[in-house]
Every structure is written in C-alpha cells, then in structure tokens.
C-alpha cells in the first residue's frame, strides 16, 4: 500500500474551533446563555396534582393504563381462566388460577372461570401483549395511570381490584348462563342482559341480593340463541 493511503486526515476537520480572546473571556459563563434565553419563555411543565383532578391532563383515548376484567351484559365474567394472558406477558406479571364452574356456582360462560387473578404492577410494563392474547376480550386496559403506592403488596392487584363493578341492570354472580345458550352465544355478543329465568334463580338462591330488583330483564338473548 502507498504512503498516501495511510495519511492522517486534516486535523481541522474534527478539532473544535479555536476561541478568540473574547470567546475565552466569556467561556465560564457561556453556558448560562441557554438558561437566560429559556428564562422568559412560557413554561411547558404540566401540573400533576392527584388531589386536584381538574388539573390533570387526560390521557389519549387509546392510552394503555391499568387493566380491567370485563363482564357480559348479564353480569357473568368474561374471564375463562385460560391463562393465555399470563403466558403472553413478557414480564411475568400475571398469575391466573382457574376453577370449574358448577350449575349452582357459575361465574363465567362455559366450563371454567378465573378463580385467582393477579397483576403485579411492580413488573408490568404496560405493553398490552396480555390484552391482545385474551380470546374473550375479558382483559382490556383503561386509561387510568395512577398506579403508585407505598408498599409492594398494594401493587399486586387481585381479581376484586380488577373486575369491573356490575353495571346498571346486571345480575350479580354466581348465576346460570342464559337458558338455551352456550358459551358461543356469549362470545358472539348475543347476550344483551339477564333473562327472567336467571333473575328468578338468583331470587330463589339469594333473596336479599340487591341486583334482583334492579336487573333489567332481556328477552333478546334467548330469542337469538334459539334461532
């Protein structure tokens, strides 16, 4: 190889510019130039005051916040305890234990329900893999982002912390599936509310259940299921 190929590049191409006498004189305070130029611009800091919710900036509608375990319109839980969410989780943040539904103790359509359901928010990275893996849309994410707490134990959310409350007109569980339906009717979204048979069953087994009087009976479920 020739000597020319090993010649060093021109040093001025990568060396910092040499300062003149004025530059050297102001060098110790030159960094403050950025400070002073920013001092009189409007602040972009967003207030975050948990005790003043009116000052909180609402997240975007598709923001991935805390999880929710959803219900069908008749009150049955959508989670079937399949554990696919736990297997999909890259942070090993979900723990599920399934149990069998029984005729007198039916919590979800089909054979099984999620008896134990935990999400460890010390591990969760809010990637949403779990909700994409869920076959029944039982698990979704809300826009709630206030997850901080004082202890490790309080950041492991149990099923009762994640399960959505009963909406107006739903019937509390356990109760049988809508008569004449299979779990497929539930998965297809054909259940629009508790049927009279379901309400009567709860009235007989738990006469003091407050959701019996508020249940909004639906006839659509059975009609569609029989088609």
Site residues for ligand SF4 per CB under 6 A: 79-85, 88-89, 91, 93-94, 96, 114, 119, 124-130, 133-134, 136, 138-139
Pairing of strands 94-100, 112-120: antiparallel
Beta bridge partners of 120: 156
Maximum distance among all alpha carbons in the chain?
A: 100
Question: Which residue's entry shows tokens 């050297």?
Answer: 24
In Å, what is the CA distance from 104 to each residue of 12, 69, 113, 202? 85, 22, 14, 10
Minimum distance of ligand SF4 from residue 49's CB (angstroms):
26
Considering the complex, state which of residue 121 and residue 172 has its C-beta at the smaller distance from ligand SF4: 121
146 marked ligand binding residue:
no
Considering the complex, state which of residue 129 and residue 206 has its C-beta at the smaller distance from ligand SF4: 129
Considering the complex, state which of residue 133 and residue 217 has its C-beta at the smaller distance from ligand SF4: 133
13 marked ligand binding residue:
no
Contact 62, 122 (CB under 8 A): no
Minimum distance of ligand SF4 from residue 83's CB (angstroms):
5
User: Helix, strand, or coil here: 155?
Assistant: helix
89 marked ligand binding residue:
yes
124 marked ligand binding residue:
yes
Contact 76, 46 (CB under 8 A): no
134 marked ligand binding residue:
yes
**Which residues make up each annotated binding site?**
79, 82, 85, 89, 124, 127, 130, 134
**Which residues make up each annotated binding site for [4Fe-4S] cluster?**
79, 82, 85, 89, 124, 127, 130, 134
């Amino acid at each position: 190889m020739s000597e020319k190929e090993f010649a060093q590049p021109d040093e001025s191409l990568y060396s910092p510019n040499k300062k003149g006498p004025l530059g050297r004189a102001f060098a110790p305070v030159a960094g403050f130039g950025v400070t002073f130029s920013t001092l009189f611009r409007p602040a972009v800091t967003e207030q975050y005051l948990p005790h003043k919710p009116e000052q909180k900036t609402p997240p975007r509608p598709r923001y991935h916040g805390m999880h929710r375990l959803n219900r069908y319109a008749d009150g049955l839980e959508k989670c079937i305890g399949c554990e696919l969410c736990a297997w999909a989780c890259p942070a090993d943040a979900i723990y599920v234990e399934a149990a069998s539904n029984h005729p007198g103790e039916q919590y979800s359509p089909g054979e099984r329900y999620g008896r134990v359901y935990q999400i460890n928010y010390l591990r969760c990275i809010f990637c949403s893999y779990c909700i994409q893996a869920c076959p029944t849309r039982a698990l979704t994410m809300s826009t709630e982002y206030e997850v901080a707490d004082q202890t490790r134990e309080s950041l492991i959310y149990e099923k009762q912390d994640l399960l959505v409350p009963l909406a107006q007109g739903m019937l509390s569980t356990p109760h049988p599936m809508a008569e004449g339906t299979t779990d497929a009717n539930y998965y297809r979204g054909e259940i629009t509310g508790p049927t009279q048979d379901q309400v009567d069953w709860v009235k007989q087994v738990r006469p003091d259940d407050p959701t019996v009087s508020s249940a909004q009976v639906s006839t659509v479920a059975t009609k569609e299921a029989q088609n």
